[in-house]
């Protein structure tokens, strides 16, 4: 962080970062914004604004007609590291009800819409027990509904990680019945009843620990101008981009990227990208 953000208490720095968030993304901020977001007193909010001006004197100008501070033409972030991806992720989370509006720093949420995402219900107690099993390296006995069988059955699994495929939450676990590491949808865990110590090590899950690189490029059937647009969309450099993914999540990654079918199965304008190659990067030793 720049020098302006040093030697401050955490709460104060959070409020100064909030001031800068509003200046950067929304163009202005006033005292009532700080009071509403943090529940501080009027004198404290005024003190925060004064301190911000002292630490970043070129960033904000007081607009008497609007009765708020607005970002100056010389504005340079001192306390905030602007991140468009984070902003848009929060916007989506608020719009989809994952994050309450008062938990984000927006004052006015821009109109937002996206394709509907089915709600995948995860039981609170199920998630808590899975997290406990991961934390304590324990096996847990669960009743699991699999699509491959109509019969609900109890099985012992040793979970070690949480996964997300873009739509659904999984637990990565060793299944004692199948003697293999597998993905179990949290929403399909119908019951839980016992814990016991486990000797299974997460290091033995080769597919989870192995990291592979997917190298993508614009579809060769596109025109040169279309290829440039696609390269811009995917942040490609010199006509290609690399995406790192755990081998266990490779299928989900390819499906989300539309690479789980042959490139010729769709028009180049619909397919847009192709998979050039895959490379084993190594093992994640975390």
Query: Can you read off the two tokens belonging to residue 265?
Result: 């199965």
Q: Of 103-107, 149-153, 204-208, 219-223, which gets the smallest average pLDDT?
A: 149-153
Q: Is the pLDDT of residue 3 over 70?
A: no
Contacts of 128 (CB under 8 A, 6+ apart): none
If you average pLDDT over residues 153-182, what whole number do you get? 94
SS3 137: coil
Q: Is the pLDDT of residue 43 over 90?
A: yes
Q: Is the pLDDT of residue 7 over 90?
A: no
Q: Is the pLDDT of residue 182 over 70?
A: yes
Query: Can you read off the two tokens belonging to residue 101?
Result: 């509006």
What's the longest Cα–Cα distance across the chain?
71
Of the pLDDT bands very low, low, confident and very high (cuts 50, 70, 90), residue 278 is very high
CB burial string 7-34: b at 16+ within 10 A, e below = ebeeeeeebbbbbbbbbbebebbbbebb
Q: How far is CA 24 from CA 91, 208, 233, in A?
A: 16, 39, 24
Q: Is the pLDDT of residue 281 over 90?
A: no
Q: Of 39-48, 148-157, 183-192, which gets the smallest average pLDDT?
A: 148-157
CA dist., res. 76 & res. 73, Å (int)? 9
Are the beta carbons of 20 and 75 closer than 8 angstroms? Answer: no
3-state helix, strand, coil in the chain (%, to 5): 35, 30, 35
- Span 78-125, pLDDT tens digits: 999 999 999 999 998 888 788 888 889 998 888 888 877 666 688 999
Are the beta carbons of 140 and 195 closer than 8 angstroms? Answer: yes
Residue that wins the pLDDT comparison between 169 and 119: 169
Write down the pLDDT at residue 112: 85
Write down the pLDDT at residue 91: 92
Mean pLDDT (the chain, rounded): 91
Write down the pLDDT at residue 1: 44
Q: Is the pLDDT of residue 5 over 50?
A: no
SS3 62: strand
CA dist., res. 269 & res. 226, Å (int)? 8
CA dist., res. 64 & res. 40, Å (int)? 23
């Amino acid at each position: 962080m720049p020098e302006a953000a040093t030697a401050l208490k955490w709460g104060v720095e959070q409020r100064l970062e909030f001031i800068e968030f509003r200046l950067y993304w929304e163009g202005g901020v006033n005292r009532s914004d700080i009071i509403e977001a943090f529940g501080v007193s009027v004198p404290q909010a005024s003190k925060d604004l004064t301190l911000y001006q002292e630490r970043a004197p070129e960033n904000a100008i007081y607009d008497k007609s609007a009765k708020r501070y607005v970002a100056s033409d010389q504005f340079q972030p001192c306390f905030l590291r602007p991140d468009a991806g984070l902003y848009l992720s929060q916007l989506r989370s608020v719009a989809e009800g994952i994050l309450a509006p008062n938990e984000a720093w927006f004052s006015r949420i821009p109109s937002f819409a996206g394709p509907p995402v089915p709600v995948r219900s995860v039981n609170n107690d199920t998630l808590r027990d899975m997290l406990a099993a991961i934390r304590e390296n324990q096996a847990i006995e669960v009743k699991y509904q699999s699509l491959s069988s109509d019969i609900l059955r109890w099985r012992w699994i040793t979970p070690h990680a949480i996964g997300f495929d873009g739509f659904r939450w999984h637990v990565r676990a060793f299944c004692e019945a199948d003697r293999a590491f597998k993905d179990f949808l949290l929403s399909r865990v119908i019951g839980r009843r016992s814990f016991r110590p486990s000797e299974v090590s997460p290091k033995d899950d080769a597919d989870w620990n192995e990291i592979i690189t997917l190298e993508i490029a614009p579809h060769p059937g596109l025109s040169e101008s279309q290829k440039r647009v696609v390269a811009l969309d995917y942040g490609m450099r010199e006509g290609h981009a690399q995406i790192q993914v755990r081998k266990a999540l490779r299928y989900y990654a390819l499906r989300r990227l539309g690479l789980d079918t042959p490139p010729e199965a769709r028009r180049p304008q619909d397919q847009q990208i192709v998979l050039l190659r895959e490379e084993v990067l190594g093992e994640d030793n975390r």
